[in-house]
Amino acid sequence: MFDIISFIPRAVAQGIPLLFGSTGETLTEKSGNLNLGIPGIMYVGAISGVIGAFLYEQSCGSADAMNGFLTVAIPLLASLCGSLLMGLIYCFLTVTLRANQNVTGLAMTTFGVGIGNFFGGSLIKLAGSEIPSIALSATSQHFSRALPFASKLGWFGKIFLSYGFLAYVAVIIALAASYVLNHTRVGLHLRAVGESPNTADAAGIDVNKYKYKATCIGSMIAGLGGLYYVMDYACGVWSNDAFGDRGWLAIALVIFTVWRPSLSVLASILFGGLYILYIFIPTGGNLAVKELYKMLPYLVTIIVLVGTSMRNKREDQPPMSLGLAYFREER
């Protein structure tokens, strides 16, 4: 029998990395930058946090000697710095040097995964682990700790209050991004840059500054998705290439939600549920059927993309300058 009470928390946990990634990519694309390097940025965000947590755990020697604030702050700061660096590299190549955004993004994904696997393998050797993974259980306990009274509230507590703090941060960031984009002067300027950088430039808006800021902030948000996956969803266990295709799912989620961060909160849960649906529906051990179930989020995205194209409404379309380098006219 399908257990909806057990299914929803699993779907939410699966969807939170997608929510971080899609929110970050939406901000980036609103500036006109198409960053296909999001999977690599999320990977670097994850390994940067793992490095910070590993070094802190090793310096403390035992879980009892670890400070709760530093246990969270160090990997969090390391993750933000790592993903920010990736965002700066992407901006330098595509905004300053005007390199092709598609090629640069794909290269950033390959680069990010390579960097993550290199440092991940190095940490595994340093830890002397007999299996190809490293466990940061002491750090993970702080990231995955649910609200203390959640277990006393039955099904309500399990569905709404049984997650680590980063899950709620992801929702807050998505809603805040939606508000900034639609109700502030900064959001208006950012959307203007994404729609018509020439017009925005003529109006006195610094196009390159907005592209840099939106892309770097978006990269840091996406990097938190990688950190959440390792420290909360995977219980602090890092294994090379274990992140899967979640970065690409985050990009698909941007299209599915027609570039609206507020819609991505529920849409990420839907994608997370579709991604793990095969666990709750008997497949008889048929691996082919399981892979077909994992295709569902992409299939739904394609259907939405076709539907929005047929409706031909401007508000459902991507920014007009998305993926195009901006060449400033001489004045």
Radius of gyration of the chain (CA): 20
**Looking at the 3D structure of the chain, how many domains does it have?**
1
Which amino acid is located at 4 in the chain? Answer: I
pLDDT of residue 87: 98
Residue 285 lies in a domain: yes
Residue 327 lies in a domain: no
**What is the pTM for the complete model shown?**
0.94
User: CA triplet 250, 267, 154: central angle to 5 degrees?
Assistant: 120
**CB–CB of 250/127 below 8 Å?**
no
pLDDT of residue 251: 93
User: CA triplet 85, 99, 120: central angle to 5 degrees?
Assistant: 35
CATH at residue 149: 1.10.3470
More confident residue, 217 or 242: 217
Residue 86 scores a pLDDT above 80: yes
Mean pLDDT of 212-232: 97
Residue 283 scores a pLDDT above 70: no
How do residues 32-53 score in pLDDT, each as one tens digit?
Answer: 999 999 999 999 999 999 999 9
pLDDT of residue 63: 83
Question: Residue 318 — φ and ψ, nearest 5°?
Answer: -70, 165
pLDDT of residue 83: 98
Residue 9 lies in a domain: yes
Query: Which of 31-35, 292-296, 307-311 reaches the highest mean pLDDT?
Result: 31-35
How do residues 97-147 score in pLDDT, each as one tens digit?
Answer: 999 999 999 999 999 999 999 999 999 998 887 788 899 999 999 999 988
Residue 284 scores a pLDDT above 70: no
Residue 322 lies in a domain: no
Q: Which domain holds residue 75?
A: 4-314
How do residues 236-266 score in pLDDT, each as one tens digit?
Answer: 999 998 888 889 999 989 998 999 999 999 9
Mean pLDDT of 182-205: 95
Residue 108 lies in a domain: yes
Q: What percent of the chain has pLDDT over 70?
A: 96
Q: Crossing angle, helix 261-275 and helix 4-30, to 10 degrees?
A: 140
Residue 79 lies in a domain: yes
Under the banding of pLDDT at 50, 70 and 90, the label for residue 227 is: very high
How do residues 56-82 score in pLDDT, each as one tens digit?
Answer: 999 998 888 899 899 999 999 999 999
Q: What is the dihedral of CA 293, 294, 299, 305, to 10 degrees?
A: 150
pLDDT of residue 298: 82
Mean pLDDT of 296-312: 78
Residue 249 lies in a domain: yes
Residue 330 lies in a domain: no
pLDDT of residue 182: 95
Which amino acid is located at 178 in the chain? Answer: S
Residue 327 scores a pLDDT above 80: yes
Alpha carbon distances (Å) from 39 to 15, 214, 232, 296, 325: 15, 17, 18, 19, 22
